[in-house]
Amino acid sequence: PCLIHYCMKGRECIVTKDGSAACRCIRQCAMHQRMVCGSDGHIYPNHCELHRAACLTGVAITIERGVHCVKHDYSNEDFLNLIII
């Protein structure tokens, strides 16, 4: 059923107990690091994590580029390491 069922970004298809396809928020994204800034002001490790956060919170989060990302999530240790390097 999941081969023909489309799920939005940040979601994955699962097969329910009755055998039908359903979408749920992605449980775990790949570990690659290509940080992106979200319209919510947070820095995410990658696009997948941004879309996953949008799914989990039910809030639309878009990718911001350049100076539009002014609020930073400085609790993100990876982001601090990126600045130091």
pTM assigned to the model:
0.73
Q: Note down the domain range covering 34.
A: 29-84
Tens digits of per-residue pLDDT, 29-60?
A: 988 888 899 999 899 999 999 999 999 999 99
Residue 67 confidence (pLDDT):
58
pLDDT at 83 over 50: no
Domain count, the chain: 1
pLDDT at 73 over 80: no
CB 29 within 8 A of CB 47: no
* Of residues 69 and 82, more confidently modeled: 69
Does 16 fall in a domain? no
pLDDT at 84 over 60: no
Domain containing residue 47: CATH number: 3.30.60
